[in-house]
Amino acid sequence: MIIQPTSLAAQLWAGAAAGTTAAVDSWRVGALLSARVMGQNDIGKLLLEIGGMTVEADAAGTQLPPQFQVRVLTQGPQPQLEVVLGNADERVAMQGLRERLPQQNGYAPLLGVLAALGRRPIARVLPAPLRAALATLEAAINKPADVSSPSGMKEAIAKSGAFLEAHLAERKQEAPASDDFKAALLALRRTLAELPAARPGNNTMPRPTSDTPPPLAQRPLVAQSRAAEMAVTEEDVDGLVGQLRTDTRAALARVEIGQLESQPQAGLWMIEIPLAGVRGYDVLQLRIEEGKAAPGEAEGPWTVGFAIDPPALGAVQGEIQLRVPRVSVRLWAQHGETVGRLENEFVSLRRLLEKSGLILDNFACMHGLPVPTSAYSAVLLEARA
């Protein structure tokens, strides 16, 4: 697609008269410039911001996304610009984010319902297919002991839902593994869809409010706290089923955002692992990144960021950097007493690493949580535009 700005020459001439040539230089043939749609003027021309300048272009037959890039093909009073929309995979991924971002929420509301059902007799009056689907979901959730070993953590990551489709393609299975978290969510959604709709006036159970930021690669990790404990009775069945429909859809959207944001070709994975804690469930959020190897190195460095918020410790975030054989660990804890507990494990951590042939270069544990550098990433803003 080619567009021709009609008001560019005047701006460039004004810049030249003022003694500035930066704009002229940036519009050289072959240059790639960022662009966004600002609207239309009163005579029907498209208003664009390209390379930091506001220009007009003929809008006839032109359909453009809110943000895009252009490549300069020709110069002159009316230069020709080629619109660069990215490859098909990028467009599909961006569309997937646009659809799922408004739906997503943290796992806490759904896991809070699951925890409440496990402690109250209301579960006995739920339809049998729903009880079975909830039991399957519960069985797909790891215990903290499961992720305390390398092999256990590897298995937990594998069945977190992020790799469900890849595993199905590799094994050529017709049905997903029952212990995969996303597979269990999909089964629960199918079961809920088959249940009759709530009777008018019966879906009155108050919903806990939650607005957990999505797991985007370009934004900091945010520890997910548990939802407030729910008090449900047998009269709340319709409301409970309605809440499960909403929370299951939100959890599935969140899993799929993590899948869309993971970039295996670039060595980046966004993973979330629900864990069965004491009287409730917690969520371990991971960002795993593989760096490029330097000349003479067999493999590049690895960086693992994590966040979790169990009631016994409060919110804890960390970053582990590995450049074999050296390891650096930085931790942040919400509560001061948690800092002391983590620092007391320093000697044990060093010994465990030494047994694996690794050297602990640096260990730091700080009181307070890291301050995000930005509230929203460019990807989030573009996807919500």
- Residue-wise pLDDT tens digits, 266-304: 899 999 999 998 889 999 999 999 998 888 888 889 999
Number of domains in the chain: 2
Judge whether residue 376 has pLDDT over 60.
no
Same domain assignment for residues 154 and 64 = no
Domain closes at, from 265, 298, 330: 265
Residue 381 inside a domain? The answer is no
CB 294 within 8 A of CB 129: no
Same domain assignment for residues 155 and 210 = yes
Same domain assignment for residues 30 and 148 = no
State which residues form the domain around 113: 92-265
- Residue-wise pLDDT tens digits, 109-146: 999 999 988 777 777 888 999 999 999 999 999 999 99
Residue 65 inside a domain? The answer is yes
Alpha helices in 179-312 (DSSP H): 181-194, 237-261
Same domain assignment for residues 75 and 216 = no
* Nearest of 35, 39, 77, 81 to residue 59 by alpha carbon: 39
Q: Quick one: pLDDT at residue 206?
A: 52
Q: Quick one: pLDDT at residue 60?
A: 56
Q: Quick one: pLDDT at residue 207?
A: 54
Q: HSE (CB half, 13 Å, CA atoms) of 360?
A: 16
Same domain assignment for residues 99 and 245 = yes
Residue 320 inside a domain? The answer is no
Instruction: Determine the longest span between alpha carbons in the chain, in angstroms.
Output: 81
Residue 319 inside a domain? The answer is no
Q: Quick one: pLDDT at residue 153?
A: 96
- Residue-wise pLDDT tens digits, 75-103: 776 778 878 766 656 767 777 888 899 99
Contacts 24+ apart (CB under 8 A), 176-182: 178/136, 178/139, 178/140, 179/139, 179/140, 180/140, 181/137, 181/140, 181/141, 181/255, 181/274, 182/252, 182/255
Residue 330 inside a domain? The answer is no
- Residue-wise pLDDT tens digits, 203-257: 555 554 457 899 998 888 989 999 887 766 667 778 888 999 999 999 999 999 9
User: What DSSP state is assigned to residue 254?
Assistant: H
Residue 371 inside a domain? The answer is no
Domain closes at, from 212, 243, 265: 265
Same domain assignment for residues 101 and 200 = yes
Same domain assignment for residues 116 and 175 = yes
**What CA–CA distance (Å, rounded) separates 142 from 281?**
10
Domain closes at, from 85, 102, 126: 85
CB 222 within 8 A of CB 380: no
Q: Hunting for tokens 């410790």 — which residue is that?
A: 313
pLDDT (average), residues 144-154: 93
Same domain assignment for residues 51 and 124 = no
Residue 225 inside a domain? The answer is yes
Same domain assignment for residues 107 and 251 = yes
Residue 311 inside a domain? The answer is no
CB 250 within 8 A of CB 110: yes
Same domain assignment for residues 106 and 249 = yes
Same domain assignment for residues 57 and 190 = no
Same domain assignment for residues 180 and 239 = yes
